[in-house]
Structure 1
Amino acid sequence: MLVLGYPTMAEAADAGPALLAAAPGRLVACEGMDSRIVDLVRAKGSPVPDLPRGQGWLFAEVAGKDTPDAVRRLVAAASALDTRLVDDRREAAALWRIREDGAGLAGRSLPTPAYGGWEDAAVPPEHLGAWLRDFEELLRAHGLQGVPYGHFGDGCVHCRIDFPFRPGDPASAAVFREFMTACATRLRDYRGTRPPPGTSQ
């Protein structure tokens, strides 16, 4: 397992296509997260193994006979601030637990309740960094909060969002509708959330 550190999660996403090209078909996983999830796990009192310098990380896992060579190619292509190779299974499992525990905490640790409704939005991996920047801006513009993470090798992002659902309040429904429309419109520009040509729906 190779852990790659970047200044931000969006910059980690920018590196995804280079990693996919450096080790085609060899990445078992390429997952992204940022410091907000790590902070949530630490605040809960759970231990966090050492991470490379940065505020955004890619967890790149490779397997096979030529794994050392694949790791070298990934490090060379990554343009990371810092890297860490983890070959101890227990420590790798602890790092994956940050991702798993943090994903659950991200939906329960905001000042207001967070909801599904904008899950699994995906763009071609080469557009993921740009989409994450736009997504964060759209959250801010609508007065919303969420902690995104995802399968960066697939260009896929998860995020639960604190939509202000209030029964009988048309204004709260309008925030949800306007945000969803703005996101869908922006995703269309990136050719997002649709299968590649030639694949089934």
Structure 2
Amino acid sequence: MRVVLTAMLAIAFYLTNAQTADSIVRNPLKPDIDDRSWCISFNTGVQKRLFFGAGIAKTVFTGSGHGIYGSDVYTGINFFPAFNKSYDQVAAIKLGSDLFGNMFFLGAEVQYLKSKGAEDWLFTPRTGIGISNLYFAYGYSISANKFPVAGISQNSITLQVNFPYYTKDKLTNRVSYWNRKKKKK
């Protein structure tokens, strides 16, 4: 937990001190990109056991001379298959949020896990590399019931991909769908 908190503090310091353009020549806070998207989200990872997940996400992506930054809120379902006969299959419902800036992000996730013999709530602070559509995360889970579900541990590594299917550009008011060209709305 100490490593996760140290990494989160270092990334938060980096995010608050990032400036990539001279503010005299150009206004670094004026956005060049300002997109809002609804996405289909897929994830896979390891939390002592392999897991797969799917869900939906609402992402905000902003870019300017100051850097790139944004956030997302997501919900979905995770599935932990029982490859080992000593484990039961586990299903989980999750809800989370991430804030990112200049390729690094901080986030948190809450999961409700249920298997045949046990159930648990997990709170997972996360940190890693990613921007809006792709995240590689490390998380350290805190269990409400001291990890009663077999094969679930504190440490998790996750790869999450968000595929936008509806995007609105707030600067031009253009709307795009994953299978159509941009239209003015």
- TM-score of the two chains, using structure 1 as the length reference: 0.26
Could you say which structure has the larger radius of gyration?
2
Structure possessing the higher relative contact order (Cα contacts under 8 Å, 6 or more residues apart): 1
The structure whose residues are more often strand, as a share, is: 2
The structure whose residues are more often helix, as a share, is: 1
- TM-score of the two chains, using structure 2 as the length reference: 0.27
